[in-house]
Amino acid sequence: MQLSLYQVDAFTEKVFGGNPAAVVPLLETPLPDAKLQQIAEENNLSETAFLTPTLSPEVFDLRWFTPAAEVDLCGHATLAAAFVVFSHLRPNITEVHFNTRSGTLSVSQATAGMMMDFPATRPQPIATDRLINEGLRAEPAELLLGFDHIAVFDSAAQVRALSPDYNALKQLSSRGVVATAADGDGFVSRCFFPKLNVNEDPVTGSAHCQLAPFWSQRLQRQRVVGTQLSARGGQVICELDGDRVKLFGQAVEYLRGTITI
């Protein structure tokens, strides 16, 4: 069996920036979950997205796998999947809807890239956690919990300087930890998910579903720009809309190939 594979750099305007994701359309025969996991492990990217068409040309089933496990929500691989739909699978449509573990996610073409409509998560303050301090080798000014731990620091320089102990962070009950700080009218972040075999994720759309509501309220701005301070770097424009977050980003194709299994 042969399957098409696209590798797309998401949340960037240029190749080698942003966060790379593999996108594999499953246009014919469904594959068992174990095989999907093997493909994701072989790709060895933070996420591999699997697209399955439905009876509607504008609707696809979408699943995301890290090299270690299937996840409930992934922003950059959703952006990459939408890019593949608009560029290759359905070039005549301008909006696509994905059935996912996190409900229906919509992506539409916008003036400057694509806009994703995701559910907002409002992280809640929690007590200081010794494991977070040991794992980050630093003590945040505030600690919150959404579907990740959110460590809030006083400055962008502190976030940039972090050198985590990934073995310690593997013991967290959450998916991982997101370190963040205000930076002018926006914010910066770094995202660590060693439990998913992703020590530091380059640009994490799903994390901004938690960061956008927090910083929008803290900065008193409906629209905020998040900059992820990974080695590859990337920006996510965030706009809060009630219980939803609109995430704006661009994507570029790096590779097109064929999987033989």
Residues labelled catalytic: 47
DSSP for residue 86:
I
* CA dihedral sign of residues 172, 183, 107, 3: negative
**What three-state secondary structure class fits 27?**
coil
Nearest to 66 by CA among 56, 74, 58: 74
* 95 beta partners: 108
Q: Where are the alpha helices (DSSP H) in the chain?
A: 33-43, 75-84, 130-136, 156-161, 166-169, 205-219
Given the structure tokens 């909006």, which residue do they identify? 95
Nearest to 249 by CA among 21, 5, 1, 2: 21
| Terminal C-alpha separation, the chain | 5
Nearest to 203 by CA among 84, 74, 62: 74
Parallel/antiparallel/unpaired status of strands 177-183 and 149-152: parallel
Report the alpha-carbon distance of residue 209 to residue 247 in Å, rounded.
8
